[in-house]
Amino acid sequence: MSKKQTIHVLGSGLVGSLLSIILAQKGFQVELYEARPDMRRADISGGRSINLVVTDRGLNALDRAGLRDKVMEIATPMKGRMLHDIKGETTFVPYGQKDNEVINAVSRGDLNCLLMDEAEARGDINIHFEKRCTGYDIKTKMLSFNDSEHVQTDIVMGADGAFSALRKAMLDQVMNFDYAQSFLDSGYKELVIPAGENGAFLMDDASLHIWPRGQYMLIAIPNIDCSFTCTLFFPFEGEESFAALKTTEDAAAFFKKTFPDALEIIPTLAEEFANNPVGSLVTVKCNPWHVDGQALLIGDAAHAIVPFFGQGMNCGFEDCRVLDDLLSGPDADWEAVFAAFNQERKANTDAIADMAIENYTEMRATTADPKFQLKKRVGFELEKRFPDRFIPRYSMVMFHPDMPYAEAKRLSEMQNEILNQLCVNITQPEDVDWTEAERLLVRK
């Protein structure tokens, strides 16, 4: 029997772990290099519980590794947004209108551990921890690591995240390599709402909770241990900003004024506000994602996006599904596969990057606007009445994984014009002129 070809993958995060399983299933030996210690043995969370949202695109990719059911066992489904106003009054706005139109909260750490367990259990994937890639020489196909080791590669794939070392090497060595990174002027801090005294959720657990406040917002996502992980998205500088909240007293006073109902259920606010770091929010766009048939960027390394559509990981998982489709097996023509992958994904990842930024404005500001809620309801009604002509944007991205992101963006721009026109002088969906609605839909 001929020896299996070895692929070197950088980063055993969410995308690198799933990618490795998919490559191994295709008949490759995978050597996976991870900068951090093994999170299953060392606590690298700093005691924080960070979660994220898995949606149909991510689940479709997990299907390729037979892992949908295992992931759903550790997930909490959410049916909609629960909007909290300044008085603590709540309004529920559903995400979709069919029973299966839900999104799923999952612990980032648990999901990553599950993927690494599954990868290692196969026997054809070796994970090397505390091996930070420090460079890659395109001419010699040589990887270098923090411990001064050098590894000769045939094929290397960089799933090493938003600040990828492989991407840096490409930026330095590939002619005409396009690269742009932009940071939001807001960052984020994670906080925890613990389970109640009897071990129950303190708020509705089938909702993603949002406290929209115009220039900033707080969100809370449920965990399977009945706690919630809260994230405050907040400007770095300015009158209301991380910089302005200098002491724990400042933070408590700000929460009392702005998120009073949340403050009541975050008993450790002062301690967490002081100790938890502020993260930045970056969008990265680059091109090309590959060099000859030898190196490929994937996941955040190729296209980091801001988290406001809950799609960064889902999009990275979708990368893995597309690569799975393009790879015939061990005799792959890598140059052709990488070029086709880049071609198929680039416009789509650019589209979700832009939609994610737009969704930041929607989540922090417009969700609280009655017009936003009206447009959501009219959108659902259009979908019911004209299912072949109208699917709301959120649904296209979250619940229609076969619809490319770029197509969802294109259609949603047209739909927004229609919704604006239909909702201009009305306050309830019952007042929509449905004949005019059909005329507009047919015309567009």
Ligand X SMILES: Cc1cc2nc3c(=O)[nH]c(=O)nc-3n(C[C@H](O)[C@H](O)[C@H](O)COP(=O)(O)OP(=O)(O)OC[C@H]3O[C@@H](n4cnc5c(N)ncnc54)[C@H](O)[C@@H]3O)c2cc1C
Q: How far is the CB of 296 from ligand X (least distance, A)?
A: 13
Edge-to-edge, what's the strand order for the sheet holding 150-152? 133-137, 142-145, 150-152
Q: In terms of CB distance, is 96 or 299 closer to ligand X?
A: 299
Q: How far is the CB of 226 from ligand X (least distance, A)?
A: 19
What are the beta bridge partners of residue 53?
105
Q: In terms of CB distance, is 53 or 266 closer to ligand X?
A: 53
Give the ranges where 128-200 is alpha helix by DSSP (H): 165-173
**Applying CB under 6 A, which residues contact ligand X?**
10-16, 33-36, 52-53, 132-133, 159-161, 165, 188, 231, 279, 299-300, 307, 310-314, 316
Among candidates 226, 299, 215, which has minimal Cα distance to 258?
215
Measured in residues, the chain has a length of: 444
Q: In terms of CB distance, is 34 or 120 closer to ligand X?
A: 34
The span from the first CA to the last CA of the chain, in angstroms, equals: 58
What are the beta bridge partners of residue 256?
none
370 three-state secondary structure:
helix
Report the relative pairing of strands 103-107 and 125-128 from DSSP bridges.
Answer: unpaired
Q: How far is the CB of 178 from ligand X (least distance, A)?
A: 19
Q: In terms of CB distance, is 32 or 83 closer to ligand X?
A: 32
Handedness of CA 127, 129, 133, 136 (dihedral sign): negative
Q: In terms of CB distance, is 19 or 418 closer to ligand X?
A: 19
Q: In terms of CB distance, is 157 or 419 closer to ligand X?
A: 157
Q: In terms of CB distance, is 132 or 371 closer to ligand X?
A: 132
Report the relative pairing of strands 80-84 and 207-212 from DSSP bridges.
Answer: parallel
DSSP 61-121: HHHHTT-HHHHHHTEEEE-EEEEE-TTS-EEEEES-SSTT--EEEEEHHHHHHHHHHHHHH
Distance set, CA 13 to CA 7, 10, 145 (Å): 16, 9, 17
Q: How far is the CB of 71 from ligand X (least distance, A)?
A: 12
Q: How far is the CB of 290 from ligand X (least distance, A)?
A: 16
- Reported as type and span, the H/E element at residue 235 is strand 228-235
Q: How far is the CB of 327 from ligand X (least distance, A)?
A: 19
Q: In terms of CB distance, is 14 or 374 closer to ligand X?
A: 14
Q: How far is the CB of 168 from ligand X (least distance, A)?
A: 9
Q: How far is the CB of 160 from ligand X (least distance, A)?
A: 4
